[in-house]
Structure 1
């Protein structure tokens, strides 16, 4: 099973929107997808229509060892897309994990026991921070997908994340690498968006996806209905962009037979 962490320590960059809609688009393309909500806010779970009262077991129990992947996972209304939800209990996990053995490897240990062949790919939606939860994701996943908002401070935040990746590579996971950077919240009416996009491409080159996610009202509305944008309005510019991103993602991935 391919594992990709979706992370950026800066909030409000479209990270969870990207995780939900990329997972949905991959599932629509025939991939069996597992989405892990590792953010205590649980926005990915809410955005997929899973209410708090339905989250009996979550990533909190997964990290503490009180539940397995198979026990924690739940189906979503999207065919071929399963979810391990998050609850507010996860907000205390960073403190509780400090005294647990191999605290940076808890997610990796849990995923190692996942049923073989059940999923082709696992996306991990990380919290907007570089704490122990995000480090667990970066240890468990050899690939990192970075949503990057087209605004002034984008490159500064990216440099901090890249420094963290280097530290994780040196101490915990020598195999981790940047799978790709996706530019989000692009506003064609704003010259700054174009300038930031050009600067990011100049620095990171082919790591940056060709697909750019536009600012789109339907992307913002969809979570309040408990639906991915691709189901809420599959013809809106945001949905079309995420389908294009999924096609680019698949082109960068090994074949599903190899992934399983």
Structure 2
């Protein structure tokens, strides 16, 4: 188990503190939002697509650790691996290459029940619908199907009342699988690295969200932009963060995830940082994000 993070660890700064904003209330840090109250019952789920067409921005890491943090606060969580690489499944210690049934079967074969595919993870309160390389064929097989954008929605609908949150880890594209995720979601969380080309890609992604909302899913909205892999030592990162906040305002989460070697270690371990290094800055950051999402009702 990791030792406790240093008090001045840069990962423990909020967005306002990183930007040096004086307009935000004092104490706008990770302890500003209290721990949520326990639930007397569960469901129906808020479905969240964790999405960005740019790879390597922390989508899978954020999905795993947000799910684990939500579960720590008594929320029942289902995570859905919608990337043929199966990184989410591997990151939760599930041997996805050995599975006979995955999300691919749910999308392609209506006779497969969702319960047949569900996997209990090592994380108490977190279930998984896994993926493997078979999923790479799904878009081609679905393209001529009637209601192809609703395939995932049909699979998740029967079990949505069991969970408080369903988190969908999207592949780094805006193809049919991602459209399926957006079509069945209540909101979108966009993990974003603070660099110029990532900022440019936000416009395309938000345009896709608008089109899906207009044509397929009127309840869909932008739940928030999550800044990941932030390096507060660089002027460029702070400039990009400032620009994102200027454009998107309070839709940028106060929680900022900074770079740390702990995250690659947890991937190898096959467990979230909240259990691998529970006192680390990264674990505290994802708990803060979970509190923020619960408090905002997102």
Q: Distance in 2 between matches of 1:32 and 1:136?
A: 22
Of 55, 70, 74, the match for 2:99: 55
Asked which structure has the greater CA Rg, the reply is: 2
2:158 paired residue number: 113
Write out per-residue CA displacement over residues 102-123 of structure 1, whole angstroms, 9 at most, x where no aligned residue.
Answer: 1000011111222x63211100
1:13-64, Cα deviation, whole Å (9 max, x unpaired): 0011000000010011100000000011000000000013443311101111
Give 1:159-198 correspondences, 5 Å limit.
Answer: 159-198=203-242
Q: Does structure 1 residue 123 correspond to structure 2 residue 172?
A: no
Task: Give 1:167 shift.
Answer: 1.4
SS at match of 2:168: strand
The partner residue of 1:97 within 138, 142, 165 is: 142
Rounded Cα–Cα distance in structure 2 between residues aligned with 1:232 and 1:55: 25
Alpha-carbon distance in structure 2 between the residues aligned to 1:173 and 1:117: 19
What is the SS of the residue equivalent to 1:125? strand
Tell me how large the CA RMSD over aligned residues is: 1.2
Residue aligning to 2:130: 85
Structure 1 pair 69–150 and aligned structure 2 pair: CA distance change class (3 A) = same
Asked if the contact 2:96/2:130 (under 8 Å) is kept, the reply is no
What is the Cα deviation at residue 141 of structure 1?
0.4
Instruction: Give the stretch that moved more between structures: 233-242 or 156-165.
Output: 233-242
Gaps of 5+ in 2: 1-44
Inter-partner Cα distance in structure 1 for 2:71 and 2:225: 21
Q: Kindly provide the CA deviation profile for residues 140-175 of structure 1, in whole angstroms up to 9, marking residues without a partner as x.
A: 102111101111212211111011111112221122
Instruction: Quote the residue 2:270 is aligned against.
Output: 226
- Alpha-carbon contact 2:97-2:132 (below 8 Å) kept: no
Deviates further, 76-85 or 55-64? 55-64
In 2, the alpha carbon distance for the partners of 1:247 and 1:12 equals 25
Measure, in 1, the Cα distance between the counterparts of 2:221 and 2:185.
Answer: 9
Count of equivalent residues? 253
Q: Does 1:251 align with 2:268?
A: no
Among 239, 242, 252, the alignment partner of 2:283 is 239
- Which structure 1 residue ranges, 5 or more long, are not aligned? 255-260
Mean Cα deviation higher: 16-25 or 59-68: 59-68
Partner of 1:136: 180
> Which of 208, 215, 239 is the equivalent residue of 2:252?
208
Distance 1:66 1:87, change over 3 A: farther
Contact 2:103 2:130 (C-alpha < 8 Å) held by counterparts: yes
